[in-house]
Amino acid sequence: MFEELSRINQKPKPFEFYTTPLLWNDPYLSQQMLKFHLDESVDLASRRKAFIQESCSWIFNHFNLSSSSKICDFGCGPGLYTSRFAKLGAQVTGIDLSERSIAYAREQAKNENLPIKYLVQNYLEYVPQEQFDLITLIFCDFSVLNPSQRKTLLHIFYNSLKDDGALLLDVPSIAFFDAASEKTEYEYCPGNGFWSKDPYFVFTNKFKYQPEKLILDKYTIIEKDSSRESFNWLQCFTLPALESELHACGLRIKDVYSDVAGKQYLPTSPEIAVVAKKTPFQGNSCCVACV
Ligand SMILES: C[S@@+](CC[C@H](N)C(=O)[O-])C[C@H]1O[C@@H](n2cnc3c(N)ncnc32)[C@H](O)[C@@H]1O
């Protein structure tokens, strides 16, 4: 028992395990995640409806989008952004590895007669076939990836952007990292809980990795005859650290905000949203936030 509890509460090395695809594609869990996506009042798998609406209006105006604009939303989930972009008239592609989310998104697009192209695909394996005016990666998805996966994805973005195209993504900030506290807890669920329809115990460890500015939510789910683990990594960034990763892949930060609805950037905000471009930014400073 002591050894088992020690194993459960063990802190892995940074990004030692990658279980993200399971969370979104497991038949039971993907159902739970879709429910969260579609709950308009919470910021769980997607942000709440009011924010998404505000964000889509801002994106459309900020990027001066029109019926000739091509947008690709990486990690589009059930299409909460893609459907709004399409309703505003843009040509839209959505990529996501969750079969359940894409099936929902396709059904919605069919019902609303929206010509959105959806791909069920791991975006880390996406081979660019066309180039977009705007690429979005929304709700801190960049941060669940390890450094090598982030580099792969940035190269894919680079090759998928038109020369004057723009990338919009958001990440948790150092203020978010500092506000998080490590914790260890466990809970019993008698059935029909988030992790399983059967009864289970779940041990939750929140670990912080100080030098890496990395957070891990580790879940150990123990059912009658089996146990499994889920690792949710969250890389937090300073603006220079984010800038350096983008720069290494040929992308330069053009604008910085506190969220993907264009809120003014403040170093104390829990998120950083950036607009990056392939073309060199004209000016003496590396980006507007450093002016
Ligand atoms: C936090 S949700 C955000 C969904 C959407 N961007 C939104 O804000 O409504 C993350 C999404 O990314 C997808 N995802 C995670 N890793 C992925 C990968 N490697 N390839 C493709 N999609 C991925 C998940 O299936 C999920 O739909």
C-alpha Rg value of the chain to the nearest Å: 20
Round to whole Å and give the CA distance between 46 and 51: 10
Note if the pTM is more than 0.85.
yes
Round to whole Å and give the CA distance between 266 and 250: 25
Round to whole Å and give the CA distance between 196 and 157: 36
Q: What are phi and psi of 206, to 5 degrees?
A: -105, 120
Round to whole Å and give the CA distance between 92 and 10: 43
Question: Tokens representing 131?
Answer: 């180039």
CA of 184 to the centre of ligand 1 (A): 27
283 pLDDT tier (thresholds 50, 70, 90): low
Residue 235: pLDDT over 60: yes
User: By C-alpha distance, which of 245, 250, 216 is closest to 232?
Assistant: 216
Residue 287: pLDDT over 50: no
The verdict on the CB of residue 260 being under 6 Å from ligand 1 is no
Round to whole Å and give the CA distance between 146 and 220: 21
CA of 225 to the centre of ligand 1 (A): 30
Round to whole Å and give the CA distance between 177 and 237: 9
The verdict on the CB of residue 30 being under 6 Å from ligand 1 is no
Round to whole Å and give the CA distance between 245 and 41: 34
228 pLDDT tier (thresholds 50, 70, 90): very high
Question: Tokens representing 111?
Answer: 């019902």
- Smallest CA separation from ligand 1 atom 9, residue: 46
HSE, side-chain direction, 13 A CA sphere, residue 7: 10
Strand partners for 73: 94, 136
Model confidence pLDDT, tens digit, residues 238-273: 999 999 999 999 999 999 999 999 999 999 999 999
